[in-house]
Structure 1
Amino acid sequence: MGRRRKKEKNEEEKTNGRGRPPKRKGLSGDTKRSIVAVFLIALAILSVFSLFGGAGTFGVYFNKILSLAFGIGRYLLPVLMVAVGFLYFRRDTEAYYVFVAAGFILFFASVLGVVHIFYPLSEMVEIAKSGSGGGFLGAAAAYPVLKLFGFWAGIIVLVAIALASILLALNVPFRALMKPIEWMREDEEEEKEDEKEEEPKAVIEEKPSASAKISEILKRKPERPAPQKDMPVPERQIGAAGWKLPPLDLLERTTGKAKGGDIETNAKIIQETFKNFGIDVEIGDISVGPSVTQYCFKPAAGIKLSKITGLNNNLSLALAEHPIRIEAPIPGKSLIGIEVPNKTKTMVRLRNIIESPEFSERKSSLTLALGQDVGGNYLLGDLTEMPHLMIAGATGTGKSVCINTIITSLLYQNSPDDLKLILIDPKRVELTAFNGIPHLLTPTVVDNGKVANALKWAISEMERRYKMLQESGSRDIFSYNGKLKVGQKKSIIDEETGEVIGEEEVKRLPFIVIIIDELADIMASHAKDVEAAIVRIAQMARAVGIHLIVSTQRPSVEVLTGLIKANITTRIAFQVATQIDSRTILDMAGADKLLGNGDMLYLSARSPKPRRIQGVFVSESEVKRVVKSIKSQLDEEVEYNEEVTAPQRVSLGGKFTGAGALGGDDAGDDLYEEAKDTVVKSGKASASLLQRRLRVGYARAARLLDILEANGVIGPADGSKARDILISNGTNTKAVQSEVEYEDEEVDQKQRDRWQM
């Protein structure tokens, strides 16, 4: 018995490492033998019922056939068939099953021959026809033996064949039949000795195959914990009393499961492809994400990573998948990652992230639900640490859905007293769904002419907040709002005398998040003002709780200028058309290998390389349900702050514009006040007007117009139309425009002609 097991073990070593024969097409040998065993056992049961008349008409005919064939041996047949059936269930070599079948057939035939040899030669056929003796099989075995050897010698021959055949079928020595208990003990001792002898060899040579390792990797993948129904609220999220956050029932959960196809075959194909190019790799880990499956490999020592990354197209050809992204190396691991698109993708829904332990353990109420990585981990972003975000990608890759997700996740954490939003949507259809909620400072800005006003208002609000922080001795908005909890009051100081004239309670400062859905359209018409405002907000607004989220579908250097990129380090890149666009967004390639539909790369200041994430999907119906739930808590219509989009008198400092700096103290020009009075009195502003009135050249006149615009005296240029005058001296501007008075018409005309020449 022990030798047989040792032999079985050696046979298993010749197989694929799991004791199974190599994979073939069609039915395997195990399957075929199992089918035969089932039929043998079933036939044995039917024969038993037939012997006792319990199988109906079939049993009657079946019993008659058995009696003719085997005679009284039909009572032994079920036992032998059951024994053969159970032996066929065992795993062994192909030759073993042949010996089992042949041994039992010879044993059965020899036993029937012993029964039938007691009849005379002339009566053997008649006895078989009557269903007695050993039947026709017994007659076939006994007739030649009796004729050749005689009665006694024939019995010895048949008994010898029976013993030999049973030893053959059971694969045991003769002493096992004589002393079975002693033989079993010896076999057990021999088996233990064999295991001791083979133990060192097993430790040295035992190496799991690639298939076994892949199966083990997939089995040990941990499952995500069950979602929590009650979402805990961080300390910083406590807002106005009585405000209820939207219920989670308004959102939908993720349905379905991502499938990466034949993972085991893909891993082998990747290994073979690398091997064909002289690169030896070892499988490390496999992670099935929502949209891609990441195969991790450890290259052999001395392999250049540039040689691996250059095989992108070869892997795509071998796997018949496109596009394939190679991450070499994976941050924090000495592995390379091959990301292959899934056969079946799944959407990541916002409700799953909100119910996750990662979201419930967040430390900020400005946590953004970004998506799920290839390892199945939810990725969150803290806007207070970013502190600004840039989103870019081609049309239809998921930018607007990402912005809707960000806004919705903020609404699920903050009351109107904690958060205020300024939404800018030149496309007019993406963010207008949020109109009417109390979190907005103003209705969604859809006019490009008002965008600069909104950004200038944010700058003035930033400066006002900095003064409040200075007066209260606070470093940032968290410190300022923290003092409100202990009931600190602010002293009111008379500006003329410097004396304290009273106290007032410190008001809580809400966070302000400015979201621009399409920056390229705005930069095309108001590049100078918008760029200067974005840069100044990005540089200074973090401490006072003002954050900026910018999105564009045209990632070019004209839109994402160097100043904007230098001040917004946290970026999200969706699929782009070329590698140049990817480098414009991330300063590295990779976004051109994405799949679209929310597949993105997330780059933050904390990570040296971007992380691949499947973005969260929030449908239009979900957004409408959330907005409706928020509006249902309002007793009256929201009154918005009209000053946000009104013309502002805030100077951008002239420090950053699209054409460069204005430089110097612009308001200190000798002719500034005179130019201001001139445009106010005349009711219009143009370079030719200042040339005539102030007797200056075009360059200085245009410079004065820029200073007047920056200081809020006149509006921006609008093609060939006259600029708007934003301040008045108390007279009717329209009347002044219609009746322009000249000091001396003849002299003025000569001066105009002179400067025109």
Structure 2
Amino acid sequence: MKTRRKRIARPKRSASRQRFRIKALRLPKLQVPKSQQRELAGIGFLLLAGLLVLAVALQASGSAMHLLRGGLVGLFGWGVAFVVLAALIAAGELLMPWIETMTWGRGLGIALLAISALGLLDLSAGGAGGSVGRAEGDALRSLAGTAGSILILGAIFLGALVLAFNISFRDTVGALREHYLANRPEPKPVQKEKRPAEAWQPRNQVVRNETSEPVLVPIQGVAAPPAVSPRPVEAEAEAATAPRRKPAASPQPVLSVVTDAEPAAPVVSEDEIQRVWVKPDTTLLDTVTVRKERLHDEIKSNIKLIEQTLASFEVQATVIGVNSGPSVTQYELQPGHGVPVRKITALQNDLALALSAAIRIQAPIPGKPALGIEVPNKATSLG
């Protein structure tokens, strides 16, 4: 005979337990776009930088602030400023898309910059670099001494500047030299002494005496003869044709007589000749409309050259604005998405060759998501 298995009765759940039994709820997944994720992360780094400033610089009260201040100052010393700077850089790259994106080389440069700065702080002012700077300074001091450690850390600091911020010392020195030459005071031109202005008279004009009577010039040591009345013109003509008498043995003093006859024209030097000034015709000057049309055509041509030159190097960028001045025009260039600024600044010489002019790149323009390319105008405008 088959044995029947006894069913074991399961204990019934109490009504209260069944009442509070709730089915598992499935919450909807939050889908946040990548752009918003970057902005939220940037706000977080900005909050971290603000808390560090409140805790360390402003000595804010509170147990959390006191703990944060003690830990950071003990670990980094005066190098806490580099932690704040790193948080601000991270926030800027996440919140501002036109800033260069972080790369491995740039991240390594920032890390080496902070490490070398902490070591230099410990070597220059003992204990200023915190625990990290002290350990670094002691290790280098035992190997190369204090002077050698400063040289090593200084070289690392300069190399980290080049990696972190894409700085070229050769370009920096060249820019400083150009700035000095442009602002150097020019020597004052030597001005020739001007002669006092003389009364202007028409050319070949002879000034006649107001009186028609002859003027007698006295001779020293000889008594003046009685006044001689002027002879008529006919008498002078006869006297000129008559044969001259031989002079007596004893010479008589000669009197110079000036009549109202027209004397010879005076000899005038070339410097004293005043030429008649003829005003130039106003048609030689460009009108305002002609200048504006010429500048407009030049700007359109430069915009096309800039965009085509960058496109030939596979760099996407668009000119979004133009600021024209009397001698220089600035073109506002907006890089495409994901295009680093250093890639455009590295093409400065190629852009100058395409535009046939010496250009200057301002990266970025303060307050604008764009770079500034300054190109000299072909013709200087006064208005």
Q: TM-score, normalised by structure 1?
A: 0.19
Which structure's residues are more often strand, by fraction? 1
Q: TM-score, normalised by structure 2?
A: 0.35
